Amino acid sequence: MEDAKFAIASAVEGQKEWVALPLYQRNEILRHFIALVQDHQEELAQAITRECGKPLAQARGEVDSICQTLDGYLAAGTTLYGKSMPVFSEKGREHDMIFTIYEPLGVIVAICPFNFPLSMFAHKVAPCLVAGNAVIVKPASDTPLSAILLANLAHQAGVPGKTLQVITGSGSELGQWLINDKAVNGVTLTGSTEVGKDIMRMAADHLQHVFLELGGNDILMIMDDFELDKAIEEACAGRLRNTGQACNGSKRLLVHNRIRKEFTDTLVARLKEAKIGDPMQEDVEVGPLVSEKAAITVEHQVLRTIQQGATLCYGGTRNGAFFTPTVLGDIRPDMDIAKDLEIFGPVFAILGFDTVEEAIAIANQSSYGLSGGILTHDMKVAFQVAKSVDTGAMVIGGHGSYRSIYQPFGGHKQSGLGVEGISETLKEFTKIKTIFLRDVL
């Protein structure tokens, strides 16, 4: 508790210090930060792999994306324009003018998940700092070191220590101390829906701004006109990314009944070839899960789904923190996995359908609504599905585990509140102020 209070009191000072610097000076510091990240790319990527078991090639991609994210927010920060409004068009106000400016929110607490520890750090810290806030990062307990390494680089570049801090410890204990304080102005979380709801409750007392990026149970819908080999690769890319631990992974595969058997058999054959092993090796496609505990959870979820009537077509075995890529067939819409059971591991759940309407109904029966994908060459069907599935994003022609740093990424329904991405988030970390000029015209 003392550490949290100390961090918050320091952040209040750190925010004043930071915002006192003109934007161009803050940007110079952040540009230096980007250069340092580029110089330490390999060290950061290896830190991610060691902590969360992400295959190294994917960890390198993650580090590369944080440079692009920082760069994009720097550019966006220079055009954070307010508006001027024609008050003089209102009767009796002919001599007045009105304009708006964006001000930082103040102190933001950024709570990160284990699965993309540095990309989530960047998606939160970059807009916070560019908008002039101080930020206290609380990394996941499984992945604190990469966050500390990255924050050290920011400090080396000149971001004041009080402006950007990292505090480690259990979220369920620290959360209340970090949030239940009126000096904190906003909380941004990427994590599970359950924790998101707890945070909203905690933030209610001081009415802090709350931004939530939460769980998902996204679909990848595969029509029978799409090339089977490409569909298999899209399904694997969408589900095996980060060994199945992605919020927007393709967790429910809706496959047209005409091709369901062939699709399932080909997928199993493909997964038998997947290289599983040490994530530090360059060509490993499937690494361990973040912990043995996480793998045990997946094991239980798979067993529960089989007990509910699913057929185990492949996999289903665990060895320590490793979970074999697994294919579950004969999933019915009434099973938990077809609705809100989010499995954070390399598990392919195959649901058959006959009509597009039926598939859309299955997609929408989940309480989640993050992303999704549709594979077909019939553009009319593609748009119908993209429009009708209630999610924050839909990908036509690919799996939905696809994220652009610019898109307003974020869930509909219980997948989140607010959106994250260069096109939107900067404004979310500000408050708007209106200034009137009386009798100037």
Q: Should residue 199 be labelled a site residue for ligand NAP when binding is judged by CB under 6 A?
A: yes
Q: What is the DSSP code (8-state) at residue 374?
A: E
Contacts with ligand NAP: how many residues (CB under 6 A)?
Answer: 27
Find the shortest distance in angstroms from Cβ 332 to ligand NAP: 23
Find the shortest distance in angstroms from Cβ 260 to ligand NAP: 26
Binding to ligand NAP (CB under 6 A) within 216-255 occurs at 216, 247
DSSP structure string for 14-56: HHHHHHTS-HHHHHHHHHHHHHHHHHTHHHHHHHHHHHH---H
Q: Residue with structure tokens 């790319």?
A: 41
Burial class of residue 334 (count of CB atoms within 10 Å of its CB; 0-12, 13-18, 19+): exposed
Q: Which of 52, 112, 236, 247 is catalytic?
A: 247
**Which position among 4, 47, 110, 112 is part of the footprint of ligand NAP (CB under 6 A)?**
112
Q: Should residue 111 be labelled a site residue for ligand NAP when binding is judged by CB under 6 A?
A: yes
- 87 half-sphere exposure, CB direction, 13 A CA radius: 18
Find the shortest distance in angstroms from Cβ 429 to ligand NAP: 16
Find the shortest distance in angstroms from Cβ 43 to ligand NAP: 22
Is 329 or 369 the residue whose CB approaches ligand NAP more closely?
A: 369
**Which position among 115, 185, 414, 430 is part of the footprint of ligand NAP (CB under 6 A)?**
115
Is 428 catalytic? The answer is: no
Q: Which of 19, 22, 21, 23 is nearest to 106 (CA)?
A: 19
Q: Should residue 141 be labelled a site residue for ligand NAP when binding is judged by CB under 6 A?
A: yes
Q: Should residue 201 be labelled a site residue for ligand NAP when binding is judged by CB under 6 A?
A: no
Residue 126 to residue 119: CA distance in whole angstroms = 10
Is 178 or 284 the residue whose CB approaches ligand NAP more closely?
A: 178
Q: What is the dihedral of CA 274, 372, 361, 312, to 10 degrees?
A: 10
Q: What is the dihedral of CA 420, 426, 427, 428, to 10 degrees?
A: 40
Please list, in sequence order, all residues whose beta carbon lies within 8 angstroms of the beta carbon of residue 431, skipping any fewer than 6 positions away: 102, 103, 104, 105
Is 15 or 193 the residue whose CB approaches ligand NAP more closely?
A: 193
Q: Which of 191, 392, 367, 348 is nearest to 255 (CA)?
A: 348
Is 236 catalytic? The answer is: no
Q: What is the dihedral of CA 304, 221, 420, 417, to 10 degrees?
A: -60
Quick one: which segment of 94-102, 157-165, 208-216, 272-280 binds ligand NAP (CB under 6 A)?
208-216
Find the shortest distance in angstroms from Cβ 425 to ligand NAP: 12
Binding to ligand NAP (CB under 6 A) within 304-363 occurs at 342
3-state secondary structure of 216: coil
Is 31 or 339 the residue whose CB approaches ligand NAP more closely?
A: 339
Find the shortest distance in angstroms from Cβ 122 to ligand NAP: 13
Is 258 or 293 the residue whose CB approaches ligand NAP more closely?
A: 293
Q: Which of 51, 62, 213, 420 is catalytic?
A: 213
Q: Should residue 62 be labelled a site residue for ligand NAP when binding is judged by CB under 6 A?
A: no
- Regarding beta strands 326-329 and 311-314, do their DSSP bridges make them parallel or antiparallel, or are they unpaired? antiparallel
Length of the chain as a residue count: 441
Site residues, ligand NAP (CB under 6 A): 111-116, 138, 140-141, 170-172, 175, 190-192, 195, 198-199, 213-216, 247, 342, 370, 416
Which residues belong to the active site?
Answer: 213, 247
